Structure 1
Amino acid sequence: MIAELGHFALILALVLAVVQSVLPFWGAMTDDRRLIAVAGPAAVTQFLLVGLSFAALVHAYIVSDFSVLNVVENSHSQKPLLYKITGTWGNHEGSMLLWVLILALFGAMVAAFGRNLPDRLKALVLAVQAWIASAFLLFVLLTSNPFIRLNPAPIEGNDLNPVLQDIGLAVHPPLLYLGYVGCSIAFAFAIAALIDGRIDAAWARWVRPWTLAAWMFLTLGIAMGSYWAYYELGWGGFWFWDPVENASLMPWLAATALLHSAIVMEKREALKIWTVLLAILAFSLSLLGTFLVRSGVLTSVHTFASDPTRGVFILAILCVFIGGGLSLFAFRATRLAPGGVFAPISREGALILNNLFLTVLAAVVLTGTLYPLVLEALTGARISVGAPFFNLIFIPLAVPLLIIVPFGPMLAWKRGDLRAASERLFAAFGAAILAAAVSAWLAGMDDVLALFGVALAFWLIVGALSELAFRVKLGRAPVAESFRRLAGMPRSAFGTTLAHAGVGVTVLGLVAATTWASEDILTMKAGDTVEVASRTLKLDGFQQRAGPNYAETVARFTVYDGGAAVAVMEPSKRNFAARQTMTTEAAITTFGLSQLYISLGDITPESAVTVRVFWKPLVTLIWLGAVVMAIGGILSLSDRRLRVGAPKPARRTVAAPAE
């Protein structure tokens, strides 16, 4: 009965989404206040209905209701409760329902927190959001219904893919979906503004918080996905340039460009056409990622669906919204008034250069991802575009982008002084040279590019701090005054500093973990030892363990440093009987910012095992940098000057005439 309730709630949500997509839009076009007022309550009610539907599916997983086909195919009665819950979206149907839930959530948030938006614009934004919701609700109901019943119901389920039975499934997909779907709000604002004909600094201020929130979730989602693959797949890598990984990177690059472009538009009312286009492209790339994952055109650990019908349906959604959005943009763009004039050497100029590099990088990733698919569709030939291509093209384009990052905040609006900005960055330049020299002393001069990478990382970190030091007049004013200035700085200033410094932290982790990492592949028996990064690793032996829904063989290693045991590591091989699947569970121990990583290969009848041992120096900085970036985003979002909607002017009080 609960499953039917969830299905019925989803149907009602579709009906309400259609109402929300039509009545507020018509009200905005005819200036009918009663129809405009429908938008907010409809968006909130739609979210409640989709939430009820999602809760019904979660309930079916928790109680192991095997009369529901989706539960049979992706769950098992012996599975731990956490994985029963996360298994709700560990499949195509459930993940699409989660997508629709987050889409409805963002619509409800616009209705609840967009009180300062003009009523007409708010109605149009919610109507556009409802167009998207209607399309995906229809997709779920027609091709991906998660509430299909089985009669008779089987006694037991088929279990969830063992790779997905991990805490990463509880964190990575929701974060990534919040980022993907968050871009739909920027898209809705862009389409609404094009329809309304009003695109100005206030519009940029309204759209920036939503873009910032989507960017934060994308940052954390990509980082979590990278770390999940790193420790779960047993291969010791953190980025494979998998097409589905690329599908998340492309909207992140576009959202980063949109954030910087919206700043120029808000401050100088420039780049109007470009900012609106980026808002459309960011969501378009999010939809493209959805198509790649759900259409079956790719074979990847990330993909769920392989039904061509679903692929055609999503392709139609893709064409309607991307094609419709770009067509409306082409029709309206010529009517947008140009913004303010500025010199090439200025903060605006630096941000435009930033946008240029980011969009080219997104285009490179898009080309490398889609080219094999297009080639196969046209000729039948199969090729793979992997790390060599992306490293050859992406990295040389990313380096100049990172070099110019510290200059932007140091330049004035409208007309800047490049020489003065360079002088303010002397500390950053000195820190970069010193870091490269120390690295050469510790690791040698064998890899000059790695030394340059370390220098670039410190250039970014100290450059970000230098901008903050310049704003508080550190060293140019009494210490007490500098502290007063620091205390009075807006949170967005700290947010910008952390975001830029976080990029430097990630770059440092990438350089160290790829250049100075070590890998040993050897066969070991109980009692054997191996030296790794000045530590001794000893295989003590093997033992058998039984998990809730698996059996595992565990290898116990003791790590010795200077003769003293400092850690015990237990990598394992797990056998999931329901799926007849074997997985490798790596063991990871962190020493400072570096990690020792062990994964097992096959175990022979002679009780020998193939072992891969990695030493990953400073590898944790890769994900720590992403967290620092996200914290910077949170600080900026909490700034009282950055609200969802420009503040309405206070009413002017007119004194009553004297009697």
Structure 2
Amino acid sequence: MIIEFGHYALVLALATSILQSLLPVIGAWRGERSLMQSGTTAAITSFALVALSFAVLTYAHVTSDFSVANVWENSHSMIPLLYKYSGVWGNHEGSMLLWLLILTLFSALVAVFGRNLPDTLRANVLGVQAWIATAFSLFILLTSNPFNRLMPAPGEGRDLNPVLQDVGLAIHPPLLYLGYVGFSVCFSFAVAALIDGRIDAAWARWVRPWTLAAWTFLTAGIAMGSYWAYYELGWGGWWFWDPVENASFMPWLAGTALLHSALVMEKREALKIWTVLLAILTFSLSLLGTFLVRSGVLTSVHAFANDPTRGIFILVILVLFIGGALSLFAFRAVRLKAGGLFAPISREGALVYNNLILTTAAATVLTGTLYPLALEALTGAKISVGPPFFNMTFGLLMLPLLLAVPFGPLLAWKRGDLLGAAQRLFAAIGLGLAVALGVFYARYGGPVMAAAGIGLGIYLIAGSLTDLVLRAGIGRLPLATAWARLKGLPRSSFGTTLAHAGVGVTLIGIVAVTAYETETIVEMKPGTTVEAGGFTLRFDGMREGNGPNFTEESAHFDILSGGVVVSDFWSSKRIYTARRMPTTEAGIRTFGTSQLYVSLGDPAPDGAMVIRIWWKPFILCIWGGAVLMMIGGAISLSDRRLRVGVPKKAKPQPKLVLEPAE
């Protein structure tokens, strides 16, 4: 009965979303305040109903109720409790319910924290959010119902996909969806503003916090997914330009552009048309990513569904929302004013330059991802667009952008001084060149591009710090005065510095591990050793073991330096009992920001084991930089200026009546 209760709550949520999609919009059109305010109640109610439905599905997984088809297909009574929870969204149906939950959560947050918004704008935003929620509620109920029953109920489940039985995959999808779905608010603000006909600096100010929150979550989701693939799949790579990886990366690129464009619009009331278009395109790319993952057109470890009916349904959603929003934009854009003018060399110009490169990069990734699919659909020919294409095109696009990043904050609004900014960056440029030359010398003259890339990363970090140093007056004012000025800077300044510095740290990690990693494939017997990364790795032997729902063979290794054991670790291969599916659990030992990575292969005929060993210098910088970006986003989001909307209407004060003196 509890399961049916969850299903019924989902149906009620659909009905509430339909009301929310109509009443506030009609109220905004007629100017009826009561109808506009109904959107707030409907948004909160819809979230509560979807949360109840999600809680019921979670209960079914935790209690191993195998009468529910979703639980039977994706759970097992013996799996650890954590993976019973993550199994809720470790499948197509549950993940779509999680998508809807986060979508209604954002709608409720707009309803609660958007009370300072103009009534018509808030009503239209909630209405557009409800249009999206209605479409996805219908999609779940008609094609992906997580509450379907099995009669009679099986005695045991089929188990969760073994590669999903990991802490990283318990965290990765919710973070990714918070980013994906968070951009729906930006989309709704854009469509609502086009309907209302009001797009100004205040609109950009309302949009920026939602954009920043979504961007921060999406950064976290992509980084977590990359690290999970690195350590869980046993392949030693951190990014492979997999189409599903690209599906999350494209909205991140567009969202980064939107974040910078909204800043220009807020400060200078410029780039209005472009900012609205970016808000539409960013969420459109999120929807496209959903279609790629859920439609079955892609084969990937990340992809869930392989049902043409679902793919067609999502394709219809794509056409309705993307096509409808772009059509509305085309109709309204001609009536919008372009905004303030500025010189090419200015902070606005630098941000436009940033936008052009980021959107071109997103278009390049989109082309490389969809071209093989389009070619196969039209001609039947199958081709693969892999890392060489993306590395070359994306790398060439990013180089001029990375060189320009530290210049942006040092240029004045409206008209800047490029030579003056370059002079202020003299120390950062010098430090980057010195590090590049040092790396070139230390690595005996090569590779040249690797040394240049690491120098570029140092330049980015130092250039990002330069803005704070100059604004605080460090080095030219007394220390106490400089410290006071530094503390008085807005939090968004620190957030911007951390985010830009994070890009530099990530760049250093990417370049170092790409250029300097070593890979060794050897056959080892107990007692044999091999050199890797300046250490000696000794294979001690194998051990068999059992987990709650798997059996494993583990190899133990000692790590020696100078003949002395400094560390040890295990690497294993597992067979999951229910699915009879093998997985590789890599052995990883960290030394600073570098890692020694060992993956087991198959046994050789003579009894030896095939071992793959990687030394990955500075690889943790890749994800350390992403963490800095996330922290920067969070700090910027806490800036008071991003939490202040339009002023609240002052409450009428009682009139003061003076009584005559006696």
TM value normalised by structure 1: 0.99
The residue number in structure 2 matching 1:32 is 32
Query: 1:46: how far off?
Result: 0.5
| 1:98-157 deviation per Cα after TM superposition (whole angstroms, max 9, x unaligned) | 000000110011111112111111111000000000000000000000000011111111
Cross-structure match for 1:607 = 607
Does the 8 Å CA contact 1:264/1:351 hold for their aligned counterparts? yes
Distance in 2, matches of 1:9 and 1:644, equals: 35
Aligned to 1:42: 42
Separation in 1, partners of 2:641, 2:319: 37
Paired letter, 1:520:
T
Q: Tell me, yes or no, if the aligned pair for 2:450 and 2:511 is still in contact at 8 Å.
A: yes
The equivalent residue for 2:594 is 594
Moved more, 601-610 or 505-514: 601-610
Q: Is the Cα contact below 8 Å between 1:550 and 1:574 reproduced in 2?
A: yes
Q: Which amino acid aligns with 1:47?
A: F
What is the aligned partner in structure 2 of residue 617 from structure 1? 617
Match of 2:88, SS state, is helix
Query: Aligned equivalents of 2:488 and 2:652: distance in 1?
Result: 29
Pairing of 1:71-150 with structure 2 (within 5 A): 71-150=71-150
In the TM superposition, 1:435-474 aligns within 5 A as 435-474=435-474
- AA aligned to 2:62 is I
Note if 1:259 corresponds to 2:256. no
Residue 582 (structure 1) shift: 0.7
Q: Deviation at 1:412? A: 0.2
Return the alpha-carbon distance in structure 2 between the equivalents of residues 648 and 43 of structure 1. Answer: 22
The one-letter amino acid of 2:27's match is G
C-alpha deviation, 1:411, in angstroms: 0.2
| Paired residues of 1:209 and 1:644 also in contact (CA < 8 A) | no
Matches within 5 A, 1:340-419: 340-419=340-419
Cα deviations by residue, 1:261-305 (Å, 9 ceiling, x for unpaired): 000000000000000000000000000000000000000000110
Change (3 A) 1:272 1:205: same
| Residues 442-521 of structure 1: pairs in structure 2 closer than 5 A | 442-521=442-521
Report the equivalent of 2:190. Answer: 190
Contact 1:207 1:644 in 2 (8 A): no
CA RMSD between the two structures: 1.3
Tell me the distance in 2 between the aligned counterparts of 1:644 and 1:20. Answer: 26
The AA in structure 1 aligned to 2:538 is: K
Corresponding residue for residue 522 of structure 1 = 522
Question: C-alpha displacement at 1:657, in angstroms?
Answer: 9.3
Structure 1 residues 318 and 644, CA, compared in 2 at 3 Å: closer, same or farther?
farther
> 2:434: which partner in 1?
434
Instruction: State the 1:648 CA deviation.
Output: 3.7
Aligned residue for 1:384, secondary structure, equals coil
SS of the aligned residue for 1:298 comes to coil
Distance 2:645 2:48 in 1: 24
SS in 2 for 1:335: coil
SS at match of 1:601: strand
Deviation for aligned residue 1:650: 5.5
Distance of 1:115 and 1:607 partners within structure 2: 70
Structure-1 separation of matches of 2:296 and 2:100? 20
Instruction: Note if contact 2:523-2:609 (Cα within 8 Å) is conserved in structure 1.
Output: yes
Is residue 292 from structure 1 mapped to residue 292 from structure 2 by the alignment?
A: yes
SS of the aligned residue for 1:520 comes to: strand
Supply the distance in 2 between the matched residues of 1:386 and 1:117 (Cα, whole angstroms).
Answer: 46
Q: Distance in 1 between matches of 2:598 and 2:649?
A: 61
Partner Cα distance (1:247, 1:137) in 2: 22
Task: Work out the CA distance in 2 between the residues paired with 1:463 and 1:646.
Answer: 35
Q: More deviation in 594-603 or 646-655? A: 646-655
Q: How does 1:161-176 map to 2 (within 5 A)?
A: 161-176=161-176
Aligned counterparts of 2:277 and 2:250: Cα–Cα separation in 1:
15
State the alpha-carbon separation in 2 of the partners of residues 534 and 337 from structure 1: 62
Task: Specify the code of the residue in structure 1 equivalent to 2:376.
Answer: E
* 1:217-228 matched pairs, under 5 angstroms: 217-228=217-228
Q: Deviations over 1:484-515 (max 9, x none)?
A: 10011110000000000000000000010110
Q: How far, CA to CA, are the matches of 1:108 and 1:480 in structure 2?
A: 45
Give the match's secondary structure for 1:465.
helix
Any idea what the Cα deviations from partners look like across 1:410-459, whole Å, max 9, x if unmatched?
A: 00000101111011101110110111122122212121110110111011
**Matched residue SS, 2:160:** coil
Runs of 5+ consecutive residues of structure 2 not aligned to the other structure: none
Distance in 1 (alpha carbons) for counterparts of 2:78 and 2:464: 51
Cα deviation digits, residues 353-406 of structure 1 (max 9, x gap)? 000000000000000000000001100111110101111111000110110000
Which residue of the partner structure matches residue 580 of structure 1? Answer: 580
Listed as ranges, the matches of 1:331-342 within 5 Å are: 331-342=331-342
Q: Deviations over 1:585-638 (max 9, x none)?
A: 101110011000000001246431110000000000000000000100000000
Residues of 2 paired with 1:429 and 1:514: CA distance? 24
Partners of 1:113 and 1:644 within 8 A in 2: no
Identity %: 66
Tell me, what secondary structure is at the counterpart of 2:453? Answer: helix
Check whether the contact 1:114–1:644 (CA below 8 A) recurs between aligned residues. Answer: no
Judged with a 3 Å threshold, the aligned counterparts in structure 2 of structure 1 residues 603 and 647 are, in CA distance, closer, same or farther, namely farther
- Larger mean Cα displacement after TM superposition, 481-490 or 132-141: 481-490
1:152 matched residue in structure 2: 152
Query: Following TM superposition, by how much is the alpha carbon of 1:528 offset from its aligned partner in structure 2, in angstroms?
Result: 0.7
Sort the Cα spacing of 1:618 and 1:372 in 2 relative to 1 into closer, same or farther, 3 A: same
1:535 aligned residue: 535
Match of 2:631 in 1: 631
Taking the aligned partners of 2:305 and 2:65, their CA distance within structure 1 comes to 22
Cα shift at 1:318: 0.4
Amino acid at match of 1:643: R
Post-superposition offset of 1:656: 6.2
3-state SS in 2 of match to 1:559: strand
Note closer, same or farther for the CA distance 1:368–1:644 as it changes in structure 2 (3 Å cut): farther
Task: Name the SS for the 2:573 alignment partner.
Answer: strand
Q: Name the SS for the 2:303 alignment partner.
A: coil
| Structure 1 letter corresponding to 2:340 | G
C-alpha distance in structure 1 between counterparts of 2:297 and 2:135, whole Å: 21
Unaligned runs of 5+ in 1: none
Q: How far is 1:655 from its partner? A: 8.7
1:568 counterpart = 2:568: yes
User: d(CA) in 2 for partners of 1:469 and 1:273?
Assistant: 35
- Give me the whole-angstrom Cα distance separating, in 2, the residues matched to 1:263 and 1:227: 31
- How far did 1:653 drift? 7.9
Q: CA deviation at 1:476?
A: 2.1
Q: Give deviations 1:296-331, integer Å, cap 9, x for gaps.
A: 000000011000000000000000000000000000
**Could you tell me the TM-score, scaled by structure 2's length?**
0.98
* Aligned partner of residue 460 in structure 2, secondary structure: helix
Give the 3 Å change call, closer, same or farther, for CA 655–462 of structure 1 in structure 2.
Answer: farther
